[in-house]
Amino acid sequence: MQILLCTDGLHDVVSGEDIQKIMLSAQPAEGRCRSLLAAAIEAGAPDNVTCVVLDLAHYRNEMLALPRAVHDSSKPQ
């Protein structure tokens, strides 16, 4: 699972298709982030560009092992 957090400095100037291509590339998360920033600068981003790429694939097993919160609706809050 990957998550991209970005400002309009990226998504206003780089097409969704180009963002998707970069996000699906075989680069590590840092490389994808650098490629996204480079694409925005190359496209003439008029303002600040910020992006964060979270690659959670390596943590899948750890996330599955986390305890699940259980809500008991019979107890008053």
3-class state of residue 53 by DSSP = strand
At 10, which helix (H) or strand (E)?
Answer: helix 8-11
Residue 76 has pLDDT above 90, yes or no: no
Domain positions in the chain = 2-65
Sort 40 into a burial class: Cβ within 10 Å, 0-12 / 13-18 / 19+. Answer: buried
- Residue with the bigger pLDDT between 57 and 3: it is 3
Q: Tell me the backbone φ, ψ of residue 53, rounded to 5 degrees.
A: -110, 120
Residue 6 has pLDDT above 80, yes or no: yes
Question: For position 38, what pLDDT does the model report?
Answer: 97
Own/partner pairs, 74-77, CB within 8 angstroms, 24+ separation? none
pLDDT in tens, 20-38: 999 999 999 999 999 999 9
